[in-house]
Amino acid sequence: MRDADVRGAVRCRLAAVHYGDSNTRIVEEMGVWSSSVRIDIAIINGELTGIELKSDRDTLGRLPLQADLYSRVFDRVELVAGARHVQKAMSFVPDWWKITIATMTDGCVELADARPGSANPAPDPYLVAQLLWKNEAIEVLESFGLAVGWRSKRIKLLHERLAAELPFTVLSESVRLALKRRDGWLRKPLGNQGQMALDA
């Protein structure tokens, strides 16, 4: 079972769940931590949800670092892993992550819940703000009257100002709205499935 097999099964599940939902945008390979790390799939709507894929052919060597970073950014995280990885993977990720087992049956990948997930208890406001490109960060600052004297500042300082000045719920909503409006994600054409934006 390859990564492409697991990814295809998850894409089909998401398409069914979010079909016709114009408030949901789904992005593949979304950059986190100044795009130095990419989560396999991100779902952007009333929450920011990340999905990390680990097929039976993958290794778990990067999972501890990924778990640390994703746990500071996403409201919810789901790990979809091949059966051979599930038990070990559980020791690497927080208890609030959802775990889904991917198995191959008659040439098709089946997804089954192994552990329910819950909301992230401690997201990092600065890393959430860091998801914004500079022009987006300035637009958010402008919308709250915080941009005067800051438009020419380095992007790190803009992110720090957003994280310091805005309540987290306001910051999080502003970031999600900016991400949903973003054009040309990863400089690739945008795709649509029903009314759901699905960017590969």
Give me the residue spans of the domains in the chain.
3-121+185-199, 125-181
CA pair distance 93, 107, nearest whole angstrom:
29
Angle CA(53)–CA(177)–CA(137) in degrees, nearest 5? 100
Tokens standing for residue 10: 């998850």
Q: Residue 154: count other Cβ atoms within 10 Å of its Cβ.
A: 9
Per-residue pLDDT of the chain (200 residues; tens, 9 = 90+): 788 899 999 999 999 999 989 899 999 999 887 777 899 999 999 999 999 999 888 888 999 999 999 999 999 999 999 988 888 988 899 999 999 999 988 889 999 999 999 999 999 999 999 999 999 999 999 999 999 999 999 999 999 999 999 999 999 999 999 999 988 665 443 343 333 444 54
- Predicted pLDDT of residue 2: 82
CA distances from 152 to 127, 134, 145, 164 (A): 21, 10, 15, 18
The domain made up of 3-121+185-199 has a fold known as: Trna Endonuclease; Chain: A, domain 1 (3.40.1350)
How far is residue 112 from each of residues 56, 90, 91, 124, measured CA to CA in Å?
15, 15, 19, 30
| Per-residue pLDDT, 123 | 97
Q: Measured between alpha carbons, how far is residue 169 from residues 28, 52, 123, 125, 159 in Å?
A: 24, 24, 11, 10, 15
Exposure class string for 93-129: b at 16+ Cβ within 10 A, else e: beebbbbbbbbbeeeebeeeebbebeebeebebebbb
Cβ proximity of 99 and 114 under 8 Å: yes
| CA gap 106, 42 in Å, rounded | 29
Give the model's pLDDT for residue 188. 43
